[in-house]
Amino acid sequence: MGVTFLMSMFSAGMLSAKIFTLQEFFKEVEINSMELIGKKADFKSRLNEQRSVNAWDFPYIENETSMVKNFQGIIEAQPRTLLVVRPKLPWVSSLLSKSLSIKTIQYDKSYQLSKNLAFIGAKRLYLTYVMTKEKYQVYVQREANFYSQLKIAKEKVKAGSMSEKDYINFNNSYLESKLAKTNVETKLIDLEKMLDTMLAIVEPVKDGAHFDTYLDHLHDVKVIGLDFEYVHLEPEALKFKLDRSLYVDILDLTAKDYQVNAKLANRDVFNAFEFGIGSESYNSSTNLSIEVRIPLPVTPKNIYQKRKFLDLQSGTLAQNEVMKRNIRINANSYLNQLKTKEAYIETQKEAIANKKRLMEMGRIAYEAQKIGLFEYLIYQNSYMDALITLAEAKIEYIDISALLEETLGESLTRLGELH
Protein backbone atom coordinates (compact mmCIF):
# COMPACT_ATOMS: atom_id res chain seq x y z
CA MET A 1 0.00 0.00 0.00
CA GLY A 2 2.81 2.41 0.95
CA VAL A 3 4.76 1.79 -2.28
CA THR A 4 1.63 2.24 -4.43
CA PHE A 5 0.90 5.52 -2.67
CA LEU A 6 4.43 6.81 -3.20
CA MET A 7 4.41 5.86 -6.89
CA SER A 8 1.07 7.56 -7.48
CA MET A 9 2.29 10.73 -5.79
CA PHE A 10 5.46 10.71 -7.90
CA SER A 11 3.52 10.21 -11.15
CA ALA A 12 1.17 13.07 -10.33
CA GLY A 13 4.10 15.32 -9.50
CA MET A 14 5.82 14.63 -12.81
CA LEU A 15 2.77 15.87 -14.69
CA SER A 16 2.93 19.36 -13.21
CA ALA A 17 6.43 19.81 -11.74
CA LYS A 18 8.86 22.50 -12.87
CA ILE A 19 11.16 20.37 -15.02
CA PHE A 20 14.75 21.21 -15.96
CA THR A 21 17.30 19.32 -17.96
CA LEU A 22 20.68 18.90 -16.32
CA GLN A 23 22.21 21.57 -18.55
CA GLU A 24 19.33 24.00 -17.91
CA PHE A 25 19.63 23.44 -14.17
CA PHE A 26 23.31 24.31 -14.00
CA LYS A 27 22.89 27.21 -16.41
CA GLU A 28 20.28 28.72 -14.09
CA VAL A 29 22.59 28.17 -11.12
CA GLU A 30 25.38 30.07 -12.85
CA ILE A 31 23.39 33.05 -14.10
CA ASN A 32 21.52 33.50 -10.80
CA SER A 33 24.47 33.14 -8.43
CA MET A 34 25.43 36.51 -6.97
CA GLU A 35 28.78 35.06 -5.93
CA LEU A 36 29.62 33.88 -9.45
CA ILE A 37 28.47 37.16 -10.99
CA GLY A 38 30.67 39.08 -8.57
CA LYS A 39 33.69 36.85 -9.12
CA LYS A 40 33.43 37.03 -12.89
CA ALA A 41 33.34 40.83 -12.72
CA ASP A 42 36.22 40.85 -10.23
CA PHE A 43 38.39 38.60 -12.41
CA LYS A 44 37.72 40.71 -15.50
CA SER A 45 38.54 43.90 -13.62
CA ARG A 46 41.83 42.44 -12.38
CA LEU A 47 42.85 41.48 -15.90
CA ASN A 48 42.02 44.96 -17.14
CA GLU A 49 44.02 46.40 -14.28
CA GLN A 50 47.01 44.29 -15.34
CA ARG A 51 46.57 45.41 -18.95
CA SER A 52 46.60 48.99 -17.68
CA VAL A 53 49.88 48.32 -15.86
CA ASN A 54 51.36 46.78 -19.01
CA ALA A 55 50.49 49.79 -21.17
CA TRP A 56 52.86 52.72 -21.58
CA ASP A 57 52.24 55.76 -19.42
CA PHE A 58 50.75 58.80 -21.13
CA PRO A 59 53.28 60.89 -23.06
CA TYR A 60 53.34 64.52 -22.11
CA ILE A 61 54.51 67.87 -23.50
CA GLU A 62 57.08 69.76 -21.52
CA ASN A 63 57.45 73.48 -22.19
CA GLU A 64 59.97 75.82 -20.68
CA THR A 65 60.30 79.53 -21.62
CA SER A 66 63.14 81.78 -20.52
CA MET A 67 63.58 85.51 -21.12
CA VAL A 68 67.16 86.13 -22.32
CA LYS A 69 69.12 88.83 -24.16
CA ASN A 70 70.09 88.03 -27.70
CA PHE A 71 73.37 89.07 -29.29
CA GLN A 72 71.84 92.45 -30.04
CA GLY A 73 71.10 92.97 -26.35
CA ILE A 74 67.35 92.70 -26.88
CA ILE A 75 65.39 90.61 -24.37
CA GLU A 76 63.34 87.95 -26.09
CA ALA A 77 61.56 84.72 -25.18
CA GLN A 78 63.53 81.51 -25.51
CA PRO A 79 60.97 78.65 -25.57
CA ARG A 80 61.90 74.99 -25.28
CA THR A 81 59.18 72.45 -26.10
CA LEU A 82 59.59 68.66 -25.85
CA LEU A 83 57.38 65.67 -26.43
CA VAL A 84 58.33 63.25 -23.67
CA VAL A 85 57.52 59.52 -23.68
CA ARG A 86 57.91 57.02 -20.85
CA PRO A 87 58.29 53.70 -22.65
CA LYS A 88 58.20 50.20 -21.22
CA LEU A 89 61.53 48.71 -22.16
CA PRO A 90 61.35 45.52 -24.31
CA TRP A 91 62.72 43.18 -21.63
CA VAL A 92 60.14 44.58 -19.21
CA SER A 93 57.22 44.41 -21.66
CA SER A 94 57.89 40.73 -22.38
CA LEU A 95 57.69 39.86 -18.67
CA LEU A 96 54.55 41.94 -18.18
CA SER A 97 52.92 40.12 -21.11
CA LYS A 98 53.91 36.78 -19.59
CA SER A 99 52.44 37.81 -16.24
CA LEU A 100 49.19 38.80 -17.96
CA SER A 101 49.05 35.45 -19.74
CA ILE A 102 49.53 33.58 -16.46
CA LYS A 103 46.90 35.68 -14.69
CA THR A 104 44.42 35.09 -17.52
CA ILE A 105 44.74 31.31 -17.14
CA GLN A 106 44.74 31.58 -13.35
CA TYR A 107 41.57 33.66 -13.20
CA ASP A 108 39.87 31.36 -15.71
CA LYS A 109 40.66 28.35 -13.54
CA SER A 110 39.62 30.24 -10.40
CA TYR A 111 36.24 31.03 -11.94
CA GLN A 112 35.87 27.43 -13.10
CA LEU A 113 36.56 26.27 -9.54
CA SER A 114 34.01 28.70 -8.12
CA LYS A 115 31.49 27.51 -10.70
CA ASN A 116 32.18 23.87 -9.85
CA LEU A 117 31.66 24.55 -6.15
CA ALA A 118 28.39 26.35 -6.92
CA PHE A 119 27.24 23.37 -9.00
CA ILE A 120 28.19 20.95 -6.22
CA GLY A 121 26.20 22.98 -3.69
CA ALA A 122 23.23 23.17 -6.06
CA LYS A 123 23.29 19.43 -6.68
CA ARG A 124 23.52 18.78 -2.95
CA LEU A 125 20.52 21.04 -2.30
CA TYR A 126 18.42 19.44 -5.03
CA LEU A 127 19.16 15.83 -4.04
CA THR A 128 18.49 16.66 -0.38
CA TYR A 129 15.18 18.11 -1.53
CA VAL A 130 14.36 14.91 -3.43
CA MET A 131 15.19 12.69 -0.45
CA THR A 132 13.23 14.95 1.89
CA LYS A 133 10.24 14.58 -0.43
CA GLU A 134 10.58 10.81 -0.09
CA LYS A 135 10.64 11.18 3.70
CA TYR A 136 7.62 13.46 3.54
CA GLN A 137 5.58 10.94 1.55
CA VAL A 138 6.37 8.29 4.15
CA TYR A 139 5.20 10.60 6.94
CA VAL A 140 2.05 11.41 4.97
CA GLN A 141 1.37 7.69 4.54
CA ARG A 142 2.05 7.03 8.22
CA GLU A 143 -0.37 9.76 9.29
CA ALA A 144 -3.00 8.41 6.89
CA ASN A 145 -2.55 4.91 8.30
CA PHE A 146 -2.88 6.15 11.87
CA TYR A 147 -5.95 8.17 10.98
CA SER A 148 -7.72 5.25 9.31
CA GLN A 149 -6.88 2.98 12.23
CA LEU A 150 -7.94 5.70 14.67
CA LYS A 151 -11.42 5.68 13.20
CA ILE A 152 -11.54 1.91 13.62
CA ALA A 153 -10.32 2.24 17.21
CA LYS A 154 -13.03 4.81 17.90
CA GLU A 155 -15.68 2.34 16.76
CA LYS A 156 -14.11 -0.33 18.96
CA VAL A 157 -14.33 1.96 21.97
CA LYS A 158 -18.01 2.51 21.25
CA ALA A 159 -18.47 -1.25 20.92
CA GLY A 160 -16.60 -1.83 24.17
CA SER A 161 -13.82 -3.93 22.61
CA MET A 162 -11.12 -1.31 23.34
CA SER A 163 -10.48 0.61 26.54
CA GLU A 164 -10.57 4.40 26.68
CA LYS A 165 -6.94 4.39 27.85
CA ASP A 166 -5.79 2.41 24.80
CA TYR A 167 -7.72 4.75 22.55
CA ILE A 168 -6.08 7.82 24.12
CA ASN A 169 -2.63 6.25 23.69
CA PHE A 170 -3.48 5.50 20.09
CA ASN A 171 -4.70 9.06 19.54
CA ASN A 172 -1.42 10.36 21.00
CA SER A 173 0.47 8.25 18.47
CA TYR A 174 -1.63 9.74 15.68
CA LEU A 175 -0.95 13.30 16.88
CA GLU A 176 2.78 12.56 17.14
CA SER A 177 2.78 11.31 13.55
CA LYS A 178 0.98 14.48 12.50
CA LEU A 179 3.56 16.67 14.27
CA ALA A 180 6.42 14.71 12.71
CA LYS A 181 4.88 15.21 9.28
CA THR A 182 4.55 18.95 9.93
CA ASN A 183 8.25 19.19 10.85
CA VAL A 184 9.22 17.52 7.59
CA GLU A 185 6.78 19.77 5.72
CA THR A 186 8.57 22.83 7.09
CA LYS A 187 11.95 21.46 6.07
CA LEU A 188 10.67 20.56 2.61
CA ILE A 189 9.16 24.00 2.06
CA ASP A 190 12.42 25.67 3.12
CA LEU A 191 14.37 23.53 0.66
CA GLU A 192 11.89 24.29 -2.12
CA LYS A 193 12.13 28.03 -1.48
CA MET A 194 15.92 27.80 -1.63
CA LEU A 195 15.62 26.00 -4.97
CA ASP A 196 13.19 28.63 -6.24
CA THR A 197 15.66 31.37 -5.32
CA MET A 198 18.59 29.53 -6.87
CA LEU A 199 16.70 28.82 -10.10
CA ALA A 200 14.89 32.20 -10.27
CA ILE A 201 11.48 30.55 -10.11
CA VAL A 202 8.83 33.20 -9.46
CA GLU A 203 6.58 31.86 -6.73
CA PRO A 204 2.90 31.96 -7.78
CA VAL A 205 1.61 31.47 -4.22
CA LYS A 206 -0.47 34.39 -3.00
CA ASP A 207 0.38 36.28 0.17
CA GLY A 208 -1.23 34.78 3.25
CA ALA A 209 -1.71 31.35 1.70
CA HIS A 210 -1.40 28.36 4.04
CA PHE A 211 2.02 26.77 3.85
CA ASP A 212 0.45 23.49 2.66
CA THR A 213 -0.01 25.31 -0.66
CA TYR A 214 3.74 25.08 -1.23
CA LEU A 215 3.46 21.29 -1.20
CA ASP A 216 1.17 21.30 -4.23
CA HIS A 217 2.67 19.44 -7.20
CA LEU A 218 2.74 22.69 -9.16
CA HIS A 219 5.64 23.67 -6.90
CA ASP A 220 7.68 20.51 -7.37
CA VAL A 221 11.11 20.86 -8.97
CA LYS A 222 12.45 18.04 -11.14
CA VAL A 223 15.87 17.86 -12.78
CA ILE A 224 16.04 15.17 -15.44
CA GLY A 225 19.25 13.18 -15.20
CA LEU A 226 20.14 14.26 -11.67
CA ASP A 227 19.32 11.36 -9.37
CA PHE A 228 20.76 9.74 -6.29
CA GLU A 229 23.66 7.53 -7.29
CA TYR A 230 26.64 5.84 -5.71
CA VAL A 231 30.13 7.26 -6.17
CA HIS A 232 32.79 4.77 -7.21
CA LEU A 233 36.26 6.16 -7.83
CA GLU A 234 39.08 3.75 -8.58
CA PRO A 235 42.63 4.59 -7.39
CA GLU A 236 43.75 5.38 -10.96
CA ALA A 237 40.80 7.72 -11.49
CA LEU A 238 41.44 9.39 -8.14
CA LYS A 239 45.12 9.89 -9.00
CA PHE A 240 44.12 11.43 -12.33
CA LYS A 241 41.79 13.88 -10.61
CA LEU A 242 44.40 14.75 -7.99
CA ASP A 243 46.97 15.45 -10.71
CA ARG A 244 44.62 17.86 -12.48
CA SER A 245 43.12 19.45 -9.37
CA LEU A 246 42.11 23.06 -9.90
CA TYR A 247 43.27 23.91 -6.39
CA VAL A 248 46.78 22.71 -7.27
CA ASP A 249 46.74 24.35 -10.71
CA ILE A 250 45.75 27.73 -9.27
CA LEU A 251 48.51 27.66 -6.65
CA ASP A 252 51.01 26.52 -9.27
CA LEU A 253 50.07 29.45 -11.51
CA THR A 254 50.32 31.82 -8.54
CA ALA A 255 53.87 30.59 -7.89
CA LYS A 256 54.77 31.10 -11.56
CA ASP A 257 53.43 34.64 -11.47
CA TYR A 258 55.53 35.40 -8.39
CA GLN A 259 58.57 34.07 -10.25
CA VAL A 260 57.85 36.37 -13.20
CA ASN A 261 57.42 39.33 -10.84
CA ALA A 262 60.75 38.50 -9.20
CA LYS A 263 62.44 38.64 -12.61
CA LEU A 264 60.57 41.84 -13.34
CA ALA A 265 61.87 43.42 -10.14
CA ASN A 266 65.38 42.46 -11.23
CA ARG A 267 65.02 43.87 -14.75
CA ASP A 268 62.77 46.85 -14.25
CA VAL A 269 65.48 49.05 -12.77
CA PHE A 270 64.85 51.78 -15.33
CA ASN A 271 61.12 52.06 -14.67
CA ALA A 272 61.38 55.89 -14.65
CA PHE A 273 63.26 56.08 -17.96
CA GLU A 274 62.08 59.05 -20.04
CA PHE A 275 62.94 60.23 -23.52
CA GLY A 276 61.98 63.60 -24.99
CA ILE A 277 62.50 65.27 -28.34
CA GLY A 278 61.47 68.73 -29.50
CA SER A 279 62.73 72.18 -30.40
CA GLU A 280 64.44 75.06 -28.67
CA SER A 281 64.60 78.66 -29.93
CA TYR A 282 67.75 80.68 -29.31
CA ASN A 283 68.86 83.95 -30.89
CA SER A 284 65.95 83.84 -33.33
CA SER A 285 66.95 80.36 -34.51
CA THR A 286 65.23 77.05 -33.85
CA ASN A 287 67.31 74.04 -32.83
CA LEU A 288 66.64 70.38 -32.17
CA SER A 289 66.46 69.51 -28.49
CA ILE A 290 66.74 66.03 -26.96
CA GLU A 291 66.36 65.11 -23.32
CA VAL A 292 66.97 61.72 -21.69
CA ARG A 293 66.34 60.87 -18.05
CA ILE A 294 67.85 57.63 -16.76
CA PRO A 295 67.42 56.56 -13.12
CA LEU A 296 70.48 55.16 -11.38
CA PRO A 297 69.70 51.87 -9.55
CA VAL A 298 72.29 52.34 -6.83
CA THR A 299 70.01 51.53 -3.84
CA PRO A 300 68.84 48.01 -2.79
CA LYS A 301 65.16 48.84 -3.44
CA ASN A 302 64.74 46.38 -6.33
CA ILE A 303 66.76 43.71 -4.54
CA TYR A 304 64.28 43.68 -1.67
CA GLN A 305 61.40 43.74 -4.15
CA LYS A 306 62.81 40.67 -5.86
CA ARG A 307 63.30 38.89 -2.54
CA LYS A 308 59.70 39.63 -1.63
CA PHE A 309 58.37 37.80 -4.69
CA LEU A 310 60.83 34.92 -4.26
CA ASP A 311 59.64 34.47 -0.67
CA LEU A 312 56.02 34.48 -1.85
CA GLN A 313 56.87 31.94 -4.55
CA SER A 314 58.59 29.68 -2.03
CA GLY A 315 55.63 29.90 0.34
CA THR A 316 53.13 29.15 -2.42
CA LEU A 317 55.07 26.09 -3.57
CA ALA A 318 55.14 24.82 0.02
CA GLN A 319 51.39 25.44 0.30
CA ASN A 320 50.88 23.50 -2.91
CA GLU A 321 52.61 20.42 -1.50
CA VAL A 322 50.50 20.59 1.65
CA MET A 323 47.40 21.10 -0.49
CA LYS A 324 48.15 17.97 -2.55
CA ARG A 325 48.64 15.90 0.59
CA ASN A 326 45.49 17.21 2.27
CA ILE A 327 43.36 16.63 -0.82
CA ARG A 328 44.63 13.05 -1.08
CA ILE A 329 44.02 12.32 2.62
CA ASN A 330 40.55 13.89 2.70
CA ALA A 331 39.48 12.31 -0.60
CA ASN A 332 40.46 8.82 0.58
CA SER A 333 38.69 9.43 3.89
CA TYR A 334 35.46 10.50 2.18
CA LEU A 335 35.65 7.55 -0.23
CA ASN A 336 35.94 5.16 2.72
CA GLN A 337 32.97 6.85 4.39
CA LEU A 338 30.95 6.53 1.19
CA LYS A 339 31.83 2.86 0.91
CA THR A 340 30.65 2.24 4.48
CA LYS A 341 27.48 4.27 3.98
CA GLU A 342 26.71 2.43 0.72
CA ALA A 343 26.94 -0.91 2.53
CA TYR A 344 24.62 0.46 5.21
CA ILE A 345 22.08 1.62 2.62
CA GLU A 346 22.08 -1.75 0.86
CA THR A 347 21.61 -3.56 4.17
CA GLN A 348 18.80 -1.16 5.03
CA LYS A 349 17.10 -2.01 1.72
CA GLU A 350 17.19 -5.69 2.66
CA ALA A 351 15.74 -4.84 6.07
CA ILE A 352 12.96 -2.85 4.39
CA ALA A 353 12.07 -5.82 2.19
CA ASN A 354 11.91 -8.08 5.24
CA LYS A 355 9.87 -5.60 7.26
CA LYS A 356 7.49 -5.13 4.36
CA ARG A 357 6.85 -8.88 4.21
CA LEU A 358 6.39 -8.94 7.96
CA MET A 359 3.95 -6.03 7.74
CA GLU A 360 1.93 -7.85 5.07
CA MET A 361 1.84 -10.97 7.22
CA GLY A 362 0.76 -8.84 10.17
CA ARG A 363 -2.00 -7.27 8.10
CA ILE A 364 -3.35 -10.67 7.11
CA ALA A 365 -3.17 -11.85 10.72
CA TYR A 366 -4.89 -8.67 11.92
CA GLU A 367 -7.70 -9.00 9.37
CA ALA A 368 -8.10 -12.61 10.49
CA GLN A 369 -8.24 -11.30 14.08
CA LYS A 370 -5.23 -13.39 15.10
CA ILE A 371 -3.35 -10.35 16.39
CA GLY A 372 -4.47 -7.06 17.86
CA LEU A 373 -4.39 -3.59 16.35
CA PHE A 374 -1.37 -2.44 18.34
CA GLU A 375 0.73 -5.42 17.32
CA TYR A 376 -0.11 -4.82 13.68
CA LEU A 377 0.81 -1.15 14.04
CA ILE A 378 4.18 -2.16 15.47
CA TYR A 379 4.93 -4.01 12.23
CA GLN A 380 3.62 -1.11 10.16
CA ASN A 381 5.61 1.52 12.06
CA SER A 382 8.75 -0.60 11.87
CA TYR A 383 8.42 -0.63 8.09
CA MET A 384 7.78 3.12 7.93
CA ASP A 385 10.72 3.83 10.25
CA ALA A 386 12.96 1.78 7.97
CA LEU A 387 11.88 3.84 4.93
CA ILE A 388 12.62 7.07 6.82
CA THR A 389 16.00 5.75 7.97
CA LEU A 390 16.84 4.87 4.36
CA ALA A 391 16.02 8.39 3.16
CA GLU A 392 18.11 9.90 5.97
CA ALA A 393 21.03 7.59 5.13
CA LYS A 394 20.83 8.73 1.51
CA ILE A 395 20.91 12.38 2.63
CA GLU A 396 24.04 11.61 4.66
CA TYR A 397 25.53 9.93 1.59
CA ILE A 398 24.71 13.03 -0.49
CA ASP A 399 26.44 15.25 2.10
CA ILE A 400 29.59 13.10 2.09
CA SER A 401 29.59 13.00 -1.72
CA ALA A 402 29.42 16.80 -1.79
CA LEU A 403 32.35 17.03 0.63
CA LEU A 404 34.35 14.70 -1.61
CA GLU A 405 33.52 16.77 -4.69
CA GLU A 406 34.40 20.02 -2.91
CA THR A 407 37.72 18.45 -1.90
CA LEU A 408 38.44 17.49 -5.51
CA GLY A 409 37.14 20.81 -6.82
CA GLU A 410 34.84 19.24 -9.40
CA SER A 411 31.49 17.51 -9.67
CA LEU A 412 31.50 13.78 -10.32
CA THR A 413 28.17 14.05 -12.13
CA ARG A 414 28.53 13.86 -15.89
CA LEU A 415 27.21 17.06 -17.41
CA GLY A 416 27.86 16.46 -21.08
CA GLU A 417 29.47 19.58 -22.51
CA LEU A 418 29.36 21.23 -19.09
CA HIS A 419 31.51 18.54 -17.46
pLDDT band at 1 (very low <50, low <70, confident <90, very high): very low
pLDDT of residue 14: 46
Q: pLDDT digit string (tens) for 276-302?
A: 787 777 766 777 888 888 877 777 888
Closest to 95 in 3D by CA, of 252, 262, 303: 262
Predicted local distance difference test score (pLDDT) of residue 162: 80
CA distances from 84 to 52, 259, 271, 278, 356 (A): 19, 32, 15, 9, 90
CB of 196 closer than 8 Å to CB of 122: no
The C-alpha atoms of residue 272 and residue 86 are separated, in whole angstroms, by 7
Q: What is the CATH number of the domain that holds 408?
A: 1.20.1600.10
Find the domain containing 131 and state its range. Answer: 2-413
> What total of structural domains would you count in the chain?
1
Residue 235 reports pLDDT greater than 80: yes
Given a cut of 90, whether residue 382 has pLDDT beyond it is yes
- End-to-end CA distance of the chain: give it in Å, rounded: 41
User: In this structure, is residue 304 part of a structural domain?
Assistant: yes
Residue 185 domain flag? yes
The answer as to whether 79 is a domain residue is yes
Angle (CA) 391 395 401, round 5°: 140
The answer to the question of residue 295 being in a domain is: yes
Q: Which residues, 6+ apart, have CB-to-CB distance to 14 below 8 Å?
A: 222
Report pLDDT for 161. Answer: 81
The per-residue pLDDT for 270 is 66
**Does residue 418 form part of some domain?**
no
Q: In terms of pLDDT, which residue wins out, 176 or 64?
A: 176
Measured from the Cβ of residue 309, the count of other Cβ atoms closer than 10 Å reads 19
Residue 417 pLDDT greater than 60, yes or no = no
Alpha-carbon distance 190 to 128, whole Å?
11
At 390, give phi and psi (nearest 5°): -65, -45
Note the pLDDT tens digit of each residue in 4-27: 444 444 444 444 568 999 999 999
Q: Confirm whether 49 is domain-assigned.
A: yes
* CA dihedral (169, 174, 180, 183) positive or negative: negative
Helix (H, G, I), strand (E, B) or coil at 20: strand
Give alpha helix (H) positions in 160-300.
Answer: 164-198, 235-243, 246-267
pLDDT tens-digit profile of 389-398?
999 999 999 9
Position 13 scores a pLDDT of 44
CA distances from 88 to 48, 52, 172, 238, 385 (A): 17, 12, 83, 46, 73
Instruction: Look over the chain and give the mean of its residue pLDDT values, rounded to a whole number.
Output: 86
Rounded to two decimals, what is the model's pTM? Answer: 0.83
Q: Roughly what angle, to the nearest 10 degrees, separates helices 90-159 and 246-267?
A: 160
Answer yes or no: is 419 within a domain. no
Q: Place 419 in a pLDDT band, splitting at 50, 70 and 90.
A: very low
Cα–Cα distance for residue pair 147/4, rounded to 1 Å: 18
Per-residue pLDDT tens digits for 77-89: 778 888 888 888 7
Q: Which residue has the higher pLDDT, 387 or 151?
A: 387
